[in-house]
Structures are given as C-alpha cells and as structure tokens.
Amino acid sequence: MRVVPILLALAFGSASAHTAVTSMTPAADATVSAPKELVLKFNEPVELRFSTFRVLALKSGQAADDGAQAALALKADATELANTPLIARNLAAQLRIPLKSNLKAGSYVVAWKILSEDGHPVTGHNVFMVK
C-alpha cells in the first residue's frame, strides 16, 4: 500500500522542520515611532529558557549580520541593549520583548538564538527603524 510511505514521509518531514520566527511587530524593515515592545511570533512553541533575544542599535554603516552577532554576544543586562532583560522561562509561541523608553532615531537589529524542537539551534535577525 502507498499510504504507509506517505505517512512516514509526512511524519519524518515535519520532524526535520526548524523553529522559525513567522512575524515581528514592528515588522521587519518598518520605520516606526519608538515602540514600547517588540512582539515575535513563532511557527511552534519555543522553550524560552533555552533561547536568547536581543535588540541593539546598529552603528552607522554597521551591517545587520555584524550587529546581530554583537547583540547575541552581550549579556542580558548589558547597557548597550535597547531591550530590558527578559525573565521568560516558559514555553511560548509568542514573545513580547520590552524595550527601553529612550530609543533614538536609527536602525535596530532584533537578534535571536532559539532551540528548535528537534534540538538544533536556530539563529536569525531582523531590522526595524525608529524615526
């Protein structure tokens, strides 16, 4: 029967998918007034205690990739960060990241490192601008 191979392919295909950020507010590449928080939504619940999220102002001429790497290397309470430290320890499909109240005009990188359900770390980043 052909049903068994199809079911096996579906089961193993979904097991190999990685966790992903499906949306961000403010949206990637959006220009907004200084937001009070960022909202990230994921395609599946994320174990927040094994995840890292950072928001950092990009320096003039700094590439988003370099800014994301720098942001993830900082400790959660680093003064350079535009977000306040997170104390999330639960499983969630959405995360609200509180931002500091003094965001100045410029570009900000939102960087994350999350542990995918299959055990693989997933890193990524987006950029938004404050007017």
pLDDT in tens, 92-113: 899 999 999 989 999 999 999 9
pLDDT digits (tens, 9 = 90+) for 35-85: 999 999 999 988 888 899 999 999 999 999 999 999 999 999 999 999 999
Is the pLDDT reported for residue 25 higher than 50?
A: yes
On whether the CB atoms of residues 130 and 32 are closer than 8 A, the answer is yes
CA neighbor of 58 nearest in space, from 47, 46, 68, 44: 68
Which residues lie across from 41 on neighbouring strands?
23, 94
Tokens of 11: 């089961």
- Residue 82 phi/psi, 5-degree rounding, is -90, -10
CA separation for the pair 95, 80 (Å, rounded): 21
- Name all domains of the chain by residue range, CATH numbers in brackets: 18-130 (2.60.40.1220)
Place 17 in a pLDDT band, splitting at 50, 70 and 90: low
Q: What is the pLDDT of residue 116?
A: 74
C-alpha 63 chain-centroid distance:
17
Environment class of 44 (CB within 10 Å of its CB; exposed 0-12, middle 13-18, buried 19+): middle
Is the Cβ–Cβ distance between 71 and 111 less than 8 Å? yes
Say yes or no to pLDDT of 33 above 90. Answer: yes
Q: What's this model's pTM, rounded to 2 decimal places?
A: 0.84
Statement: residue 119 has pLDDT above 90: no
Integer Cα distance of 19 and 74 in angstroms: 23
